[in-house]
Amino acid sequence: MFRRATGLLARRLMSSSGSRARPYSTDLPAAPTEDSTFVEAWKKVIPNIEPPKTPLSFMKPRPATPSSIPSKLTVNFVLPYASELSTKEVDMVIIPATTGQMGVLPGHVATIAELKPGVLSVHEGNEVKKYFISSGFAFIHANSYADIVAIEAVPVDQIDPSLVQKGLAEFTQKLSSASTDLEKAEAQIGVGVHSALNSALTG
């Protein structure tokens, strides 16, 4: 008896994916909490039993893209061991993307950016908080939510300048004496990270 339900589901999925291209997620309205075609088909065949809950009904629906640009950007900044900022409303964040420093304002186009070692600054009114990020990703959604994930993030005043200089000298020396590709890559990473730390301290 239940085999028919899965057959109906499969046929419905096939027809909808073949006939039209899927819209971008930025153009969709708020995500539904259950698949209404499935529920109707279930009720027609098995009216007495409640339709099973699908993962969709357990998830919080994706918030709809508001029609006017919101005034604040909501930032979630998380690290593996702590949540630095959790749904904090700010005016702007500047993220150190691999393509350069990127400023994110409310209403920014949805973007996924890979981050390079650099400074993340969070602007709220007149105060600016700066964190040095080791590397990570930033996901900016169409509804002005930004999720920033990083492995290590420290406020810039926790960085020790003498250790940075020592590290920079050590890795520049390693870079010139490196032989294998892997050693060269590691030395280059070292030089890159330490020069980013240096400019974070001075800039």
Partner 1 sequence: MASNAAAPFWRSAGMTYITYSNICANLVRNCLKEPYKTEALTREKVHFSVSKWTEGKPEKPTIRSDTPED
| Shortest distance, position 25 Cβ to partner 1, whole Å | 18
Closest CA to 74 of 61, 62, 59, 92: 92
Of 89 and 186, which has the nearer Cβ to partner 1?
A: 186
Closest CA to 159 of 190, 110, 196, 127: 196
| Shortest distance, position 128 Cβ to partner 1, whole Å | 20
CA atoms within 13 A on the CB side of 104: 31
Site residues for partner 1, 145-164, by CB under 8 A, read 151-152, 154, 158-160, 163-164
Residue 136 near partner 1 by CB under 8 A:
yes
Distance CA 153, CA 77 (A): 10
Alpha-carbon dihedral angle through residues 166, 167, 168, 172, given to the nearest 10 degrees: 110
**Are the beta carbons of 150 and 79 closer than 8 angstroms?**
yes
- DSSP state letter for 55: H
Residue 38 near partner 1 by CB under 8 A:
no
Partners of residue 128 on adjacent β-strands: 123
Segment near partner 1 (CB under 8 A), from 18-26, 50-58, 62-70, 191-199? 191-199
Residue 194 near partner 1 by CB under 8 A:
yes
| Shortest distance, position 141 Cβ to partner 1, whole Å | 22
| Shortest distance, position 90 Cβ to partner 1, whole Å | 23
Of 92 and 102, which has the nearer Cβ to partner 1?
A: 102
User: Looking up tokens 């492995």, which residue turns up?
Assistant: 151
Contact positions vs partner 1 (CB under 8 A)? 81, 98, 117, 132, 134-136, 151-152, 154, 158-160, 163-164, 167, 181-182, 184-186, 188-190, 193-194, 197
